[in-house]
């Protein structure tokens, strides 16, 4: 117990040290982070130039110089547009006043006026002095007759010049930004030059014994992160270009500035794109004479965002970036607190990098668990958890969601049967009471009922039969389905398993009758001796129940030596060979481990089993 406490305390201390170090080391860590991300962004360009025959020095200088020229050009144009906007903005006062007047007219009405009157009355009541305050005021009139000392005049002290302090503050901030960018640029050049050397040093930290494994994992991680950052830059940059072109066509002033801001703000998860979309809409409201341009800008931005989110990004990144939405928001909040606006922009790439590291490096697997968008619990574990908690609605929703994507037999064998196995396991360990077990089984039956309805809906929606096919079916003799007697070996869990098998079988070929759990083995043997079915299916879901299945199989085999007996040890993988041998010695014809295997076995024996004409067809023949 004390070992866990020591581990927890050590982890807490290490976490606090890391947080404090990240906050105190901002002047050094921010340039390093920028340099690392720019290295991932420019490394594909450097490697492409090297494959074309350029040397390492030439490739690095061309990539860095090109990126620097692009950034400086964009900065110069954006600065000019900002200066022009600040100079012309006061000239749009009349348009802004007209828009506000129109909005006030739209918002006026009897209901609005009554609401404003109510607000005014409540405010007056809140600010009205109480009776105690009035009494204190009367007493104050008596005190006012007492002569008071002359008032003291506060003389303000002359401080340093405000413009000079503002100028020094601006110069200090500008110098800090330029120093950060210069340091990041220097680090970027060194990282690109010494990429192979840095990789070798990181690989050696894992030890020479794991040289090959670590090298492959590190190379894979580097390529995945680099590919993601490049695709993010392309998608966001393309969005900015298309937005700029559209705003220029709609004659919105300073379209380049709004496109640049939108591209940069898209690095901020979720809220960044809508903040970037707000600027051109506000500008169009301030500069246009009517409402047509603002509405057109809003519609254009909305359509562009929908296309980018639902078409472009899924094609570029797959279905998702691999990071859960909650993790992205938490990452944005944490990095905003630690590093300010720069941390907010870098939060999404940082989160993706950590998830990629967690997926490819086993020691960092907890990062993928905490930040990844993959469900923490496997499908059957999640289903069992919801059934155990009595959440039947959520459990049925999980089953239906899985059935829309996968075949029904796969859902039953990989999701429903394992949940029943977990139930048997926890009952044996006394983790579940009889009441808890009944809650799980009732929820499972509800899920089966909804799954059966879904399967019937799917089958009804299929293409109808042609007239020729209908005539062929009507002219063929009606054959009764083959009788299968389903026998639970031990408890109600086996009964639920047999209900699953009944749903998977074709009702036109098979008629599965599940015997009651209270039926004695002697009663079953007597019934089979008199009227043996074509097939006997004994369900025995592990863990446990093997002895009950062997005893039942032996008694039924003695009662009907020629009957086909199938024992379903569904989801039994650990001791399947041993269980098969023991059950076959007890008289089982076949032992299956999945529902799909059971159904395939029955279908393969369909032509070998005796079939009878239906009651209607027999009556026609007799007549």
Per-residue confidence band for 574, with pLDDT thresholds at 50, 70 and 90: low
Q: Which helix (H) or strand (E) holds 199?
A: helix 195-205
Q: What is the Cα–Cα distance from 317 to 534, expressed in whole angstroms?
A: 55
- On whether residue 210 sits in a domain, the answer given is no
Q: What is the pLDDT of residues 172-195, one digit of tens each?
A: 566 777 788 888 888 888 888 887
Percentage of residues in the chain with pLDDT exceeding 90? 22
Last residue of a domain, one of 86, 106, 129: 86
How far apart, in Å, are the Cα atoms of 405 and each of 170, 402, 409, 492, 613?
58, 5, 12, 29, 38
Residue 614 pLDDT > 60 = no
Torsion angle (degrees, nearest 10) of CA 519, 521, 522, 523: 30
Q: What is the Cα–Cα distance from 538 to 82, expressed in whole angstroms?
A: 80
- On whether residue 263 sits in a domain, the answer given is no
Same domain, 516 and 418: no
- On whether residue 339 sits in a domain, the answer given is no
Instruction: Give the pLDDT score at 226.
Output: 81
Q: Quick one: residue 254, left, alpha or beta (phi over 0 = left, psi -120 to 50 = alpha)? A: left
Residue 559 pLDDT > 60 = yes
Same domain, 451 and 505: no
Instruction: Give the pLDDT score at 597.
Output: 92
Residue 252 pLDDT > 60 = yes
- On whether residue 123 sits in a domain, the answer given is no
Instruction: Give the pLDDT score at 177.
Output: 74
Per-residue confidence band for 622, with pLDDT thresholds at 50, 70 and 90: very low
Per-residue confidence band for 541, with pLDDT thresholds at 50, 70 and 90: very high
Q: Which helix (H) or strand (E) holds 159?
A: none
Is the torsion defined by CA of 470, 472, 477, 480 positive or negative? negative
Last residue of a domain, one of 32, 62, 86: 86
More confident residue, 492 or 149: 492
Residue 619 pLDDT > 50 = no
Lowest mean pLDDT among 94-103, 242-251, 435-444, 514-523: 94-103
Residue 381 pLDDT > 80 = yes
Residue 537 pLDDT > 90 = yes
Per-residue confidence band for 245, with pLDDT thresholds at 50, 70 and 90: very high
- Top mean pLDDT of 261-270, 290-299, 306-315, 499-508 is at 499-508
Contacts of 3 (CB under 8 A, 6+ apart): none
Nearest to 613 by CA among 476, 422, 420: 476
Lowest mean pLDDT among 47-61, 260-274, 586-600: 260-274
Same domain, 488 and 452: no
> Two tokens at 63?
């990539």
Residue 103 pLDDT > 60 = no
- On whether residue 212 sits in a domain, the answer given is no
Same domain, 486 and 439: no
More confident residue, 498 or 47: 498
Residue 3 pLDDT > 80 = no
More confident residue, 387 or 116: 387
Q: What is the mean pLDDT of residues 432-443?
A: 91
Same domain, 490 and 453: no
- Partner residues linked to 566 by β-bridges: 537, 590
Q: What is the mean pLDDT of residues 462-470?
A: 59
Place of tokens 């828009």: 99
Same domain, 438 and 492: no
Instruction: Give the pLDDT score at 577.
Output: 82
Residue 342 pLDDT > 70 = yes
Instruction: Give the pLDDT score at 510.
Output: 92
Same domain, 8 and 46: yes
More confident residue, 571 or 467: 571
More confident residue, 598 or 7: 598
CATH number of 527's domain:
3.40.50.280
Instruction: Give the pLDDT score at 553.
Output: 93
Place of tokens 């494959």: 51
Q: What is the mean pLDDT of residues 138-155?
A: 49
Instruction: Give the pLDDT score at 535.
Output: 93
More confident residue, 472 or 344: 344
CATH number of 414's domain:
1.10.1240
Instruction: Give the pLDDT score at 267.
Output: 79
Residue 623 pLDDT > 70 = no
Residue 101 pLDDT > 70 = no
Please tell me whether residue 323 adopts helix, strand or coil conformation.
Answer: strand
Residue 163 pLDDT > 90 = no
- On whether residue 156 sits in a domain, the answer given is no
Same domain, 448 and 531: no
Instruction: Give the pLDDT score at 128.
Output: 61
Residue 595 pLDDT > 90 = yes
More confident residue, 417 or 141: 417
Range of the domain at 405: 379-459
Q: What is the mean pLDDT of residues 332-351?
A: 82
Instruction: Give the pLDDT score at 502.
Output: 93
Number of domains in the chain: 3
- On whether residue 533 sits in a domain, the answer given is yes
Per-residue confidence band for 114, with pLDDT thresholds at 50, 70 and 90: low
Per-residue confidence band for 471, with pLDDT thresholds at 50, 70 and 90: low
Percentage of residues in the chain with pLDDT exceeding 70? 77
Q: What is the pLDDT of residues 15-42, one digit of tens each?
A: 788 888 888 888 888 888 888 888 888 8
Same domain, 534 and 407: no
DSSP string, 464-507: PPPHHHHHHHHHSPPBPPEEEEEEESSSHHHHHHHHHHHHHS-T
> Two tokens at 23?
């906050």
């Amino acid at each position: 117990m004390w070992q866990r406490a020591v581990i927890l305390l050590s982890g807490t201390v290490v976490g606090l040290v890391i947080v404090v170090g990240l906050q105190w080391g901002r002047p050094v860590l921010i340039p390093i982070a920028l340099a690392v991300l720019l290295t991932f962004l420019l490394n594909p360009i450097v490697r492409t130039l090297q494959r074309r025959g350029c040397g390492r020095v030439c490739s690095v200088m061309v990539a860095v110089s090109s990126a620097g020229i692009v950034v400086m050009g964009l900065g110069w144009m954006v600065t000019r547009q900002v200066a022009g906007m600040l100079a012309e903005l006061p000239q749009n006062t009349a348009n802004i006043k007209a828009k506000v007047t129109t909005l006030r007219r739209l918002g006026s009405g009897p209901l609005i006026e009554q609401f404003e009157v109510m607000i005014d009355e409540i405010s007056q009541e809140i600010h009205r002095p109480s009776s105690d305050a009035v009494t204190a005021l009367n007493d104050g009139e008596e005190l006012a007759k007492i002569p008071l000392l002359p008032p003291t005049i506060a003389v303000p002290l002359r401080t340093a010049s405000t413009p000079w302090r503002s100028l020094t503050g601006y110069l200090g901030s500008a110098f800090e930004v330029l120093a950060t960018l210069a340091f990041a640029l220097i680090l970027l050049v060194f990282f690109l030059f010494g990429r192979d050397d840095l990789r070798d040093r990181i690989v050696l930290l894992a030890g020479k014994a794991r040289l090959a494994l670590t090298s492959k994992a590190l190379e894979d991680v580097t390529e995945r992160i680099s590919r993601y950052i490049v695709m993010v830059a392309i998608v966001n940059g393309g969005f900015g270009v298309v937005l700029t072109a559209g705003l220029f066509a709609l004659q919105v002033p300073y379209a380049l500035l709004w496109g640049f801001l939108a591209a940069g703000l898209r690095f901020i998860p979720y809220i960044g794109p809508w903040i970037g979309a707000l600027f051109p809409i506000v500008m169009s409201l301030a500069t246009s004479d009517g409402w047509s341009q603002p509405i057109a800008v809003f519609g254009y931005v909305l359509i562009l965002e929908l296309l980018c989110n639902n078409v472009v990004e899924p094609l570029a990144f797959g279905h998702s970036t691999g990071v859960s939405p909650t993790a992205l928001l938490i990452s944005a909040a944490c990095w905003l607190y630690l590093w300010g606006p720069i941390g907010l922009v870098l939060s999404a790439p940082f989160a993706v990098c950590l998830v990629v590291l967690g997926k490819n490096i086993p020691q960092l697997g907890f990062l993928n668990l905490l930040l990844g968008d993959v469900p923490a619990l496997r499908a059957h574990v999640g289903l069992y958890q919801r059934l155990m908690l009595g959440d039947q609605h959520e459990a049925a929703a999980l089953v239906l969601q899985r059935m829309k994507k996968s075949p029904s037999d796969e859902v039953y064998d990989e999701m429903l049967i394992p949940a029943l196995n977990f139930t048997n396991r926890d009952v044996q360990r006394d983790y579940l009471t009889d009441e808890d077990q009944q809650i799980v089984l009732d929820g499972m039956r509800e899920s089966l009922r909804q799954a059966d309805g879904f399967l019937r809906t799917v089958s009804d929606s299929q293409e109808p039969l042609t007239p020729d096919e209908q005539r062929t079916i009507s002219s063929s003799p009606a054959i009764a389905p083959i009788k299968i007697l389903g026998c639970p070996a031990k408890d109600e869990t086996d009964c639920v398993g047999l209900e699953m098998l009944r749903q998977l079988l074709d009702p036109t070929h098979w008629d599965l009758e599940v015997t009651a759990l209270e039926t004695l083995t002697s009663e079953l043997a007597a019934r089979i001796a008199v009227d043996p079915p074509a097939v006997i299916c004994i369900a025995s879901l592990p863990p446990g129940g093997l002895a009950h299945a062997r005893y039942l199989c032996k008694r039924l085999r003695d009662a009907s030596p020629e009957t086909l007996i199938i024992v379903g040890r569904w989801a039994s993988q650990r001791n399947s060979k041993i269980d098969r041998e023991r059950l076959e010695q007890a008289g089982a014809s076949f032992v299956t481990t999945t529902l799909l295997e059971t159904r395939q076995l029955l279908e393969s024996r369909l032509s070998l089993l005796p079939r009878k004409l239906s009651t209607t067809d027999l009556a026609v023949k007799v007549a």
